[in-house]
Chains A and B, each alone.
Chain A
Amino acid sequence: MAEEKFDAIIVGAGPAGSTAAYLLAQEGLDVLLIEKGTTPGSKNVSGGRMYAHALNRIIPNFWDEAPVERPVTREIITFLNGEQSVSLDCHDVNWGKPPYHSFTVLRTEFDAWLASKAEDAGAVLACAIRVDEVLKENGKVTGIRAGEDEMLADVVIAADGANSITAQQAGLSKVFTAHQVATGVKQVIELPPETISQRFQVDGNHGAAQLFVGDCTKGMQGGGFLYTNKSSLSLGLVVSTAELQRCQIKMSEILEEFKESPHLAPLIEGGQAAEYSAHLIPEAGLGMIPQLYGDGILVAGDAAGLVLNLGYIVRGMDFAVASGEAAAKTVIVAKARSDFSRQGLAAYQGFLKESFVLRDLEAYRNAPRFQENHRLFNEYPRLATGLVSKLFTVDGTPPVHLLAKVLGQIKENRISLWQLAVDSWKGAKNL
């Protein structure tokens, strides 16, 4: 039974959906924000860091009120190989001052806050509702069905995450393939705040973000991550789902093994595991973006595959927020013209380009393919750790100059100089 008609129904109260709902409600539109979890955020997982720029544009100084964890002032990339590790460690205290660069976040609390902002602005938030079907009339999306209830709207925004049933039902996207996504697993490990600050050498409330490449993924395409929250760590692994399909390796087990690594164990020592989660991450960049709009429907956030993984930077939430903003702008224009057809919603593409979303994904369009190179997860971490370990070793053997050390390690790891040169060139060009 159709009861009332909204200007917009937004499926999914994550960063994309709640941002869109917030902006549309502020403009006075009737907005229904539907969330399948009992509270917004209760189904949502991310590694744990959001770059602040996108949301700061929409809610200036959001950090004054949002439940963010710590501003990240230390970035560490660690190459792992057995007993050896080499890290690149960048500390920039400016990142810990307004306008903050990035924050670690725990999504259950953070997403609930952002959804409450949408509610305060006037959006209707309906939780614990699973959307079962996208309603269509003459090919145009007209609303959704959840159980027995049908709800109608001029436009539906599919912001229901990487497994977007809504976008699939509307015929805009297909189930992502194993090559297009990665599977992430994560444990939240509780530790006292002071212990975290000491171990990661950060001031009081500042935080660190550490990425790991090497044998933590058993040579599979992917890596590890560790983010410091106020009184917990978010520790996890992300592996290409295609690799999981092939390799017969269990992620829950390699995460446990990773926790025992000599490079990680001291960081989590004494911690208490508090939660285990898993999530699908769209990682194929431009190559996987579905049709972003159709008659009466827009797709935003993870549902649209808007994630950028450069290996040293992983972005999803800022893309989600900005795509939610672009979707809201599109709907406002469409409403002014009373045209919610595919053509009327085509401005979405332009708004996404105008923001950084499509611009950045286009700039890094070759990054996903570059990262399919297995040497990045095997030979090169071994080369880096072996070489730097040799540099610091004094054991009475005859001296070897730097160049000979480098060439020796390259040979030892069976890497051809030509291959290394090509990979370096490609990496520098595409990342």
Chain B
Amino acid sequence: MKRLSIEQLLGLDKFAVDDDEAHIVLDKTICASCQPKPCTYACPAGLYTVKDGEICFDYAGCLECGTCRVVCPQASAAISWKYPRGGFGVSFRYG
């Protein structure tokens, strides 16, 4: 089978993106002081990236696993984590 990029993998899934409410919100000042940034590796959807030294997060392709909340060294402060509002987010067709 051909290798799939993370974008192609997420492209297989069905998302209903909530344009009005981000279900995960970062406190970027805390993230700026975080050296290891484990979220940038551990997120299975690869949604945490570093651009120009600053953490960027795109909640649109979130698989809602909760890994980021668990690996974050300052989780309770740096990440405000909720599930998307009812009806939004990923909808698995197989699961």
Contact = CB atoms under 8 A, between A and B. Distances in A.
A248 B44 contact: no
Given A43-B64, A276-B13, A277-B90, 9 more contacts: A175-B76, A183-B67, A245-B70, A250-B6, A252-B6, A256-B4, A260-B3, A273-B9, A275-B94
Nearest to A130: B86
14 contacts: A45-B95, A107-B95, A108-B95, A175-B76, A187-B9, A250-B6, A250-B46, A251-B44, A252-B45, A259-B1, A273-B9, A275-B93, A275-B94, A278-B63
Contact of A241 (B3, B10, B12, B42): B42
A159 interface: no
Interface centre among B85, B89, B94, B95 (most CB of A within 10 A): B95
Interface residues of A, number: 63
B63 to A, nearest CB: 4
A232 interface: yes
A175 B87 contact: no
Interface in A173-231: 175-178, 181, 183, 185, 187-189
Given A108-B93, A260-B3, A277-B95, A165 B82 contact: yes
State the majority secondary structure of interface residues on B. loop
A268 interface: yes
Interface string B63-94: 11111011100011000011111110111111
B94 A232 contact: yes
Contact of A275 (B13, B45, B46, B76): B13
Contacts of A188: 94
B67 A46 contact: no
Given A41-B95, A273-B12, A189 B1 contact: yes
